[in-house]
Amino acid sequence: MKPWRHYLVLCAFLLVGVGLSVRVLYLGVTEREFLQQEGDERSVHKEVIPGMRGMIYDRNGEPLAVSTPVFAVTTNPRLAKFKELELQQIADALGLSKEAVRKKVEDNKDKGFLYLKRRLSWVKSNALKQLDISHLTLEPEYQRYYPAGEIASHVVGITDLDGKGIEGLESNFETSLRGHAGAKTVLRDRKKNSIRDLDYLSSPRYGEDLNLTIDLRLQFIAYRELKAAVNSHQAVSGSLIMLDAKTGEILAMVNQPSFNPNSGDKQQNTMRNRAVVDAYEPGSTIKPFTALAALESGRYTPETIIDTAPGYFKVGNKLIEDPINRKSLSLGQSIQKSSQVAFAKLALDLEQDAIFDVLARAGLGNYVGVELPGEAYGKLSSAQLKYPVVRATLAYGYGLSVSPIQLAQAYLTIASHGLRLPISIVKSDVPDTGERVFEVQATKDVLTMMELVTAREGTAAKAAVSGYRVAGKTGTARMIGANGYDDERHISWFAGVAPVSDPKVVMIIVINEAKAGRSGGGKVAAPVFARVAERSLRLLGVSPDKVDVDLARAPTEASAPIGFGGRG
């Protein structure tokens, strides 16, 4: 090579180097902010730090709702050019087909962000991360998990895909349970993997925990027995509520059918908290309140005789009748035998608004305000009380409607010896002393009369619990169909209090449309009370209060349909 060519090439390289250096210096001075911004957009990223949702616990600290860390798999369809092998690897990790992943990316190719999968487990996320696929990002998030599953689903509720409460307490306490996300800036490589945290912009704030009055042990017992009863009687649905008679706290609340909040397969029909949102005519479960109105009048005692002969009588054009002629019954025996005639006559002998006033003071026709969504208002009106037939039917539970939670609050006023206590499902450190609505002795007399119902001769002998005095009342109400009351469709009720000497639990059971041959509250709902109460009272450490533990469990025929569609 000639020397001049060597120097020519050397000069050319020098000139290029000087030119590049000058250009770099020029851009560094004149375009510094622009270049810094462009570089940051490609390598510096603002990353959200999810705030964990508050946990939900039962009264004993057992978790009912927890948040577990998971990942969302995202990509930028505009930039993602996945190879066939990468598509297959992604599909295998996400549990999808390769064609489904390909179609999802191609259908959103004009977008800058796409979720390929939400709530991917930690194990699968780590496996996917090891593949080191460009333009595939794993974003941290939380998934709600419910350890009790369907046992407490109607109470706890569920959250949606974004972690927002949409049912139950998850919905009603969304503001306090919800966590607030924080943020940080991170340095990413060309494959969008985080290399280093650069700065923390704000800290995540965790949601507040929620402590319930529910006892998961009792919840499980109630759920198991209610489900067995609904299945065995081929019923449409059922509900059970158990209250602490001293505080008004809900110890258990279950419904059938139920749903598994951890499963994606949920139907609206199974998600209804029927104990709160459904209302029915209560039938003969109202009779103890009619008896209470009679005691308050001062003209009746539990021993006052009521002549029911010849077993029927007319009020206007309506015939009210008992299944047999029971002749003369005391007020206590009228509750025990659930005599329609006795209570209709009683209603017509009292002041026009006497029974309505007692029911209103017990809380029927008002919101319970139990902090669960969709509470039914129920119906209790005084507009038609001037008509004798309305007063007569009201006395045995027709012409009004109540939700199971409303009826539970009403019976709580009897179990608490006249105090109207607020019903609560969230644990409070400050107990409410309640409001006195009935006299102590009157409610004690009613409890004593209700105890006759669970004796051998009563309509709910199957509600008796060995070792404990049990007060209760059955109710069987005909449902309204297209042409009035339907003789083939019934609501079966049982309301119970135990132990009578010092009430600890109040329980309401309702079975909707039992189809397996029996529909009376004493045969369908009362046995559920006995099975749940027997285990619950012992778990709660309640001492037996009955010396004679050989309580009758012999079957007793329920009363036949009478009057305006009800029986005891």
pLDDT at 49: 73
| Dihedral over Cα of 144, 145, 151, 152: its sign | negative
Q: Mean pLDDT score of the chain, rounded to an integer?
A: 87
Q: Are the C-beta atoms of residues 126 and 235 closer than 8 Å to each other?
A: no
pLDDT digits (tens, 9 = 90+) for 405-459: 999 999 999 999 999 999 999 999 887 888 999 999 999 999 999 999 999 999 9
pLDDT digits (tens, 9 = 90+) for 166-184: 999 999 999 999 988 787 7
pLDDT higher at 84 or 284: 284
pLDDT at 194: 64
Distance of CA 481 to the CA centre of its chain: 28
pLDDT digits (tens, 9 = 90+) for 257-271: 999 999 876 677 889
pLDDT at 139: 84
Burial of 2 (0-12, 13-18, 19+ CB in 10 A): exposed
pLDDT at 417: 97
Distance (Å, whole) CA 524 – CA 477: 13
Q: Is 263 a catalytic residue?
A: no
Tell me, letter by letter, the H, E, C secondary structure of 285-302.
Answer: HHHHHHHHHHHHCCCCCC
pLDDT digits (tens, 9 = 90+) for 297-349: 999 999 999 999 999 989 988 999 999 999 999 999 999 999 999 999 999 99
Domains and CATH numbers, the chain: 47-211 (3.90.1310.10), 216-258+278-545 (3.40.710.10)
Tell me, letter by letter, the H, E, C secondary structure of 80-101.
Answer: CCCCHHHHHHHHHHHCCCHHHH
pLDDT at 353: 95
Which of 466, 536, 463 lies closest to 219 in space, CA to CA? 536
Which of 423, 381, 422 lies closest to 402 in space, CA to CA? 381
Quick check: 367 pLDDT over 50?
yes
Distance (Å, whole) CA 196 – CA 183: 14
pLDDT digits (tens, 9 = 90+) for 277-303: 999 999 999 999 999 999 999 999 999
Can you name the residues that pair with 567 across neighbouring β-strands? 476
pLDDT above 90 coverage of the chain, percent: 60
Q: Which two tokens stand for residue 265?
A: 């397969």
pLDDT at 302: 96
Query: Which candidate in 284, 416, 424, 536 is catalytic?
Result: 284
pLDDT at 558: 35
pLDDT grade, residue 10 (50/70/90)? confident
Which of 175, 177, 210 lies closest to 59 in space, CA to CA? 210
What number of other Cβ atoms are within 10 A of residue 426's Cβ? Answer: 17
pLDDT digits (tens, 9 = 90+) for 119-151: 888 888 888 888 888 888 888 888 999 999 999
Distance (Å, whole) CA 283 – CA 394: 9
Distance (Å, whole) CA 472 – CA 448: 10
Which of 478, 559, 549, 469 lies closest to 513 in space, CA to CA? 478
Q: How many residues does the chain have?
A: 568
| Dihedral over Cα of 220, 226, 232, 237: its sign | negative
The dihedrals phi and psi of 315, each to the nearest 5 degrees, come to -120, 105
Distance (Å, whole) CA 477 – CA 284: 8
